[in-house]
Amino acid sequence: MNAIQLIAAERKRQISIELWDSDHDDNHWDNELAIAAAVYALPREKRRLSILGDKLFEILWPWDLTWFKPVKGDQGRIRELVKAGALIAAEIDRLQRL
């Protein structure tokens, strides 16, 4: 699959498996979806930078840290970028519904 297909498949999974549909997404009004996407899109070494004792991803992540699920292994980076893309798609859709 190409990048667009991977992102579309992830967004479909988020809706059908996680039940994060448009009604759910509409409750994330403070750019939370876009911020979560940005965290996943950050390179791992940048996410782990310490700022005043906290890791950058801990400061930026908009929800409880148990919801942040980085992926390990060779395909992990691609998977994280796919998650980021699906979150961006969800945020764009949410904004268009306003």
Contact 45, 19 (CB under 8 A): no
For the range 43-49, what are the long-range contacts, defined as Cβ-Cβ under 8 Å and sequence gap of 24 or more?
44/70, 44/77
pLDDT by 10s per residue, the chain, length 98:
999 999 999 999 999 999 999 999 999 989 999 999 999 999 888 888 887 677 888 889 999 999 999 888 778 999 999 999 999 999 999 999 99
| Phi and psi torsions of 27, nearest 5° | -85, -5
Q: How far are the Cα atoms of 12, 75, 80 from residue 67, in angstroms, in the given order? A: 18, 20, 13
Asked if residue 49 lies in contact with residue 1, where contact means CB atoms within 8 angstroms, the answer is no
**Single pTM value for the model:** 0.89
